[in-house]
Structures are given as structure tokens and as C-alpha cells.
Amino acid sequence: MEFASIIQKIAIYAIPLIFAITLHEAAHAFAARYFGDSTAYMMGRMTLNPIKHIDPVWTIAVPLLLVLTSSPFIFGSAKPVPVNFGALRNPKRDSIWVALAGPAANLAMMITWAVIGKIAIMSGARPDAAGPLEYIAIVAGAGIFVNALLMVFNMFPILPLDGGRVVAGLLPNKLAYSYSRLEPYGMFILIALMLSGVFNSFLAPLVDISMKAVYSLIGIF
């Protein structure tokens, strides 16, 4: 992969990715404190400072590796926000809202990037040109994609993903306990699903549907 192409990808995806993971984690921290747990707040994680959320592997190494290997998309994540679910006022119910806060933040950012993209297009950005407006439109498109990917990925019903937390909160206590015991194996299950292609067969269509829904909402087609 040419060096110029690598720099171009970084220039397009860096800002959306940093915003996506930072606001996702900050939203979890804010929701946790709102519902009674100040752990993340006391550890300085309820902040929009991306440095507080950076993980050397998932925030830097993995996205860079994807760029260097010419991956069709750039993906990464931040350090998980620590949440003491037992400190929540209603642990079972409130854990659902804390889990949903991250994906909700990604949805809000998808809409925000779509609005930015539409403004750029309405201001004269053209697909056959290369200038500041075109750059903004391209970055906005990357922002929509990155946030859709993070939102859909995190909502898969496998612990420790946010979707798994939601499922655990909705299940009856006995089933929730049995389901939660699978969490130590969650990442291994995810890796197995990815390697088998099963995960991607669900991920890609859902990301596409999410993006089209936001494009339709904002009126970009």
C-alpha cells in the first residue's frame, strides 16, 4: 500500500474514529453516574478528552494495522468504561440504560455527520472535485460509516458487548445469571464468529441499513 494512500485514509478516518469512541465511552460514564455509579467519573472517564479513553492496542494498533493491510474499513475501540453495576440504583434496569448510552451516542453522531455532509453538499461539494468542501463531505461519510459500525457491533447480544448487557438486563434473574456466566468467553465467541464469517454476514447488512436510514432521515441520496 502506497504511503500517500495510507496518509489519505488516516486523514479521512482519524477524526470520526476518535470522536466515535470518545463520545461512546463518555456516554457510558455519564449514564452510569446519572443512575448512581460514580466509578467512571472518579476515574476521570466522564470526559470528552480522547486521551483518557485511548487503548494502545484497540485505539491505535488495530486501526493502523487495518490501514496498512488495505482493509475496506477502519475499526477500533477505546478502553471500556468501568461500571460498578451493583452501585446503580436499580442494577438490573439501569444497566440496560447504561449499556444503551454508548450506541445511542453513535446514532446521534451518525445524524450529526449526516447533517454536516448535507451542508457541505448544499454548499457546493461535488464528487468530481477536490477541495475543502469535498474533504468535509468525505469525512462526514466516514463518520456515518464508523459510527454505524460501532453502533451495530456493540449491539450484538454477546457479553461483554453493550447488546449483551441489554439482554442480561431484560432476562429473568435466573436466566440472566446463567447468561452472564458466559461473559469470560464472550471475546472468544466473537473471534470464532468473525473467523467463520457468520458475524460479518450479519454485520454488513445491518450497518448498511443503519446508514441508509440516516441518509433517508436527513435527505441525502
Residue 1: per-residue pLDDT: 54
Q: Given a cut of 90, is residue 201 above it in pLDDT?
A: no
Convert the pLDDT of each residue in 112-121 to its tens digit. 999 999 999 8
Provide DSSP, the chain.
Answer: --HHHHHHHHHHHHHHHHHHHHHHHHHHHHHHHHTT--HHHHTT-SSS-GGGG--IIIIIIHHHHHHHTT-SS-----PPPP--GGGSSSHHHHHHHHHHHHHHHHHHHHHHHHHHHHHHHHTT--TT--SHHHHHHHHHHHHHHHHHHHHHHHTSSSTTSHHHHHHHHHS-HHHHHHHHTTGGGHHHHHHHHHHHTHHHHHHHHHHHHHHHHHHHHHT--
Question: Which residue, among 105, 111, 117, 121, has the nearest Cα to 141 in the 3D structure?
Answer: 117
Convert the pLDDT of each residue in 105-160 to its tens digit. 999 999 999 999 999 988 887 776 778 888 899 999 999 999 999 999 999 999 99
Quote the mean pLDDT of the chain.
Answer: 88
Q: Given a cut of 90, is residue 207 above it in pLDDT?
A: yes
Residue 72: per-residue pLDDT: 57
